[in-house]
Amino acid sequence: MQPTMKAPADLLLLPQWVVPVEPAGALADHAVVVQDGRILDVLPADAARARYDAAQTLSLPGQALIPGLVNLHGHAAMSLFRGIADDLPLMTWLYQRIWPAEKQHVSEAFVRDGTLLAAAEMLAGGITTCNDMYFFPQAAGEAFLQAGMRATLGLIVLEFPSAYASDADDYLSKGLALRDELKDEPLLSFTFAPHAPYTISDATFGRINTLAEQLGVPIHTHIHETADEIQDSLKQYGMRPLERLARLGLLGPNFIGVHAVHVNAAEIDLLAQHGCHVAHCSSSNLKLASGLAPVVELMQAGVNVGLGTDGAASNNRLDLFAEMRLAALLAKGVSGDAAALPAATVLKMATLDAARALNLDERVGSIVPGKRADLVAVDLRDLACQPVFDPVSHLVYVAGREHVTHVWVDGTLKLDNRRLVDLDPDDLTARAAYWRGKLTA
């Protein structure tokens, strides 16, 4: 009898646990098979060895293989502002420190270097996809492609001029041209990114809404971050920001509201009824003293909530492991319910739920055959991780980004045994030092 021919594969991964997110939980002694940048199969390790002839086999003893983390909100280039304006409330931080610094220093070169620095930090910490919002998105896109990282580029819109654009029409024109140029890049996607209700007029919101509907592109904006924002809206428009956006027709399944800290019960219902998504940035909200978002209530109402880091100027880390742990602990403390946001739920918020908000959940966010092979290996052999009763619990409550050993994006290795493959840390450190000199001159 002829021996059964094995099927070809590019990569056979053999971790101690596969944590697929779909379904929840961990699979012990299973393998993940990768071919042509996608997940070909998930099956018991012995069956995988018998069925597939892989060009490369990598054993990962004591490690958990998880989907690449998805950062639902950030400003990557602001990594170059890390620590420049600490211990200030949002509006003081923004108006007196950040916007003046941006006016003086932000350029294509600044955004390219800052985004490369952020991409290196995120990839080394297991983040394979990020949703970005900043000036010069073309430079950011070039940096993400150089790093080999999946990114959703925000087509930033403001009413006031910057080094990037002169007015709202100019921002939109440049953003649409960029989308047309890069829309076929497999690692890139796009959102319209009006900064916030307090920086965007009704007319501009109306135009963005029309374009978003025509092109099927999500809208990504800051919303209800501070109590002052709401009071200012009441004075200017006679209504709260979410009500204003609802009247303008912006709320819907393609709407990603960032922060949503100060939302009442009626507004939570409004977000749920329209199928909106929320990016929860707990560290940034705490550091700027913006408040505590009602995450449990949002999720109980049916709002899809993903996790974001915000920018390094207000966090000051691009670390979704830290965000997972903090989000879980805050939810328990605020709600008085120790069962609020269990580990599996929080891991899903940092992967599949965030991917869903970006319309990427059919491509990434879980370890399922047919999806792209965005994968992360997390080493749980460290003494501080012992003993391991439940690897999913450990991923949220014990492990940190320092335990990430390997990262793949689209099946391509980006972090190899804790060493970045495509980015040079010494080069990035030198770039950061150059900008520090310019910012402090």
| DSSP secondary structure, 157-188, as one string | E-SS--SS-SSHHHHHHHHHHHHHHHTT-TTE
SS3 at position 24: coil
pLDDT at 1: 47
Whole-Å CA distances, 258 to 124, 221, 288, 309, 334: 24, 6, 14, 11, 20
Same domain, 243 and 118: yes
| Residue 271 domain flag | yes
Q: Where does a domain end: 296, 322, 357?
A: 357
| Residue 142 domain flag | yes
* Domain total of the chain: 2
| Residue 397 domain flag | yes
Same domain, 302 and 272: yes
Same domain, 382 and 234: no
Bridge-partner residues for 151, per DSSP? 130, 188
| Residue 278 domain flag | yes
| Residue 434 domain flag | no
| Residue 20 domain flag | yes
Same domain, 351 and 235: yes
Model confidence, pTM = 0.98
What is the residue range of 252's domain? 69-357
pLDDT at 415: 98
Same domain, 139 and 267: yes
Bridge-partner residues for 194, per DSSP? 157
pLDDT at 3: 60
Rounded Cα distance between 137 and 266, Å, is 35
Closest alpha carbon to 196 in 206, 205, 184: 205
Same domain, 280 and 148: yes
pLDDT at 2: 54
Q: Are 370 and 8 in contact (CB under 8 A)?
A: no
Same domain, 205 and 276: yes
Q: Are 291 and 227 in contact (CB under 8 A)?
A: yes
Same domain, 339 and 400: no
Same domain, 143 and 200: yes
Same domain, 58 and 88: no
Q: Is 62 exposed, middle or buried (0-12, 13-18, 19+ CB in 10 A)?
A: middle
pLDDT at 181: 97
Same domain, 343 and 395: no
As averages over each run of 10 residues, the pLDDT of the chain (441 residues) reads 81 98 98 98 98 98 99 98 92 90 95 98 98 98 98 98 97 98 97 97 98 97 97 98 98 98 98 98 96 97 98 97 98 96 98 98 98 98 97 98 98 98 98 96 84
Closest alpha carbon to 285 in 265, 264, 262: 262
Same domain, 333 and 379: no
CATH of the domain at 353: 3.20.20.140
| Residue 416 domain flag | no
CATH of the domain at 42: 2.30.40.10
